[in-house]
A and B are shown apart, each in its own frame.
Chain A
Amino acid sequence: MDHLFAAVVLAALRYWTPLVLAAMGGVLSERAGVINIGLEAMMLGGAFAAISGAQATGNVFLGIAAGVLVGGLIGLLHAALTQALRVPHILSGVGLNLGALGLTTYALRQAEASGTALATPVRLSPEAMAAAAALLVAIVWFVLARTALGLRLRACGENPEAARSAGISVERLRYGAVTASGALAGLGGAALALAGLGAFTENMTAGRGYIALAAVIFGRWNPLGAAGAALFFSLGVAGEITLQTLGMSRIIPPDFLTLLPYVLTLIALAGIAGRSAAPAALGRTD
Chain B
Amino acid sequence: MKRRLLRLADMLGQPLAALLIALFLGGLVIGLAQRDMTAPFTAYGALFTGAVGDSFAWAGTLARTMPILLTGLAVAVALAAGLFNIGAEGQLAVGGLAAAWVGFALGGLLPAPLLLMLSLSAAMAAGAAWAFLPVLLKVTRGAHEVITAILLNYVAQNTTRYLATVPLKDPSGGGAVPQTPEVLAVLPRLSPTYDVHWGLIIAVLATVCVALALRRTVWGYETRAVGEGMGAAEAAGIRVARVQINAFLLSGALAGLAGAVVIVGAAPFRRFPADFYGAGYGFEGLAVALLAGGSPWAVLPSALLFGVLGAGAEAMSFQVGTPKQIVAVVQAILIITVAARIVVRRRARSGNTATPPAATPLPAEAQASSTAPTATTAATGEERSFASSEAAPS
For the residues of B in contact with A, the DSSP-based class is helix
CB-based contact B147/A217 at 8 Å: yes
Mark A88-123 against chain B: 1 for CB-CB distance below 8 A, else 0: 111110111011011101110110010000000000
CB-based contact B388/A107 at 8 Å: no
Residues in A58-100 with C-beta less than 8 Å from chain B: 81, 85-92, 94-96, 98-99
Using CB atoms, name the residue of chain B closest to A253: B162
Chain A residues with CB under 8 Å of B150's CB are 207, 210, 214
Which A residues have a C-beta under 8 Å from some C-beta of B? 35, 37, 81, 85-92, 94-96, 98-99, 101-103, 105-107, 109-110, 113, 207, 210, 213-214, 217, 253, 255-256, 258-259, 262-263, 265-266, 269-270, 272-276, 278, 280-286
A-B contact pairs, 9 of them (CB 8 A): A88-B385, A88-B387, A90-B391, A91-B387, A94-B287, A95-B339, A102-B328, A274-B144, A284-B388
Cβ of B51 < 8 Å from any Cβ of A? no
CB-based contact B147/A278 at 8 Å: no
Smallest beta-carbon distance B298→chain A, Å: 15
CB-based contact A274/B142 at 8 Å: yes
Using CB atoms, name the residue of chain B closest to A271: B141
Smallest beta-carbon distance B307→chain A, Å: 16
Chain A residues with CB under 8 Å of B155's CB are 259, 262-263, 266
Mark B254-296 against chain A: 1 for CB-CB distance below 8 A, else 0: 0000000000000000000000000000010011001000000
Cβ-closest 6 pairs across A and B? A102-B328, A275-B142, A99-B332, A283-B391, A88-B387, A109-B323
For the residues of A in contact with B, the DSSP-based class is helix
Cβ of B234 < 8 Å from any Cβ of A? no
Partner of A274, one of B133, B141, B382: B141
CB-based contact B137/A269 at 8 Å: yes
A57 to B33, CA, bound (A): 20
Partner of A217, one of B144, B336, B344: B144
CB-based contact A85/B340 at 8 Å: yes
Partner of A37, one of B146, B165, B329, B384: B146
A255 to B157, CA, bound (A): 9
Partner of A94, one of B34, B286, B385: B286
Which B residues have a C-beta under 8 Å from some C-beta of A? 29, 33-34, 84, 86, 133, 137, 141-144, 146-148, 150-152, 154-155, 158-159, 161-162, 165-166, 283, 286-287, 290, 321, 323, 325-329, 331-333, 335-336, 339-340, 343-344, 347, 382-388, 390-394
Chain B residues with CB under 8 Å of A259's CB are 154-155, 158-159
Given contacts A92-B336, A262-B151, contact A270 B143 (CB under 8 A): yes
A66 to B158, CA, bound (A): 34
Smallest beta-carbon distance A99→chain B, Å: 3
Smallest beta-carbon distance B22→chain A, Å: 10
Using CB atoms, name the residue of chain B closest to A104: B325
Partner of A87, one of B84, B323, B336: B336
Partner of B325, one of A109, A113, A256: A109
CB-based contact A91/B335 at 8 Å: yes
Chain A residues with CB under 8 Å of B328's CB are 98-99, 101-103, 105-106
Smallest beta-carbon distance B26→chain A, Å: 9
CB-based contact A284/B340 at 8 Å: no
Chain A residues with CB under 8 Å of B33's CB are 106-107, 110
Partner of B387, one of A89, A107, A270: A89
A245 to B331, CA, bound (A): 41
CB-based contact A280/B394 at 8 Å: yes
CB-based contact B387/A110 at 8 Å: no
CB-based contact B159/A255 at 8 Å: yes
Given contacts A35-B391, A107-B33, contact A255 B158 (CB under 8 A): yes
CB-based contact A89/B325 at 8 Å: no
| Residue of B86, B133, B325, B386 with most partner-chain A CB within 10 A | B325
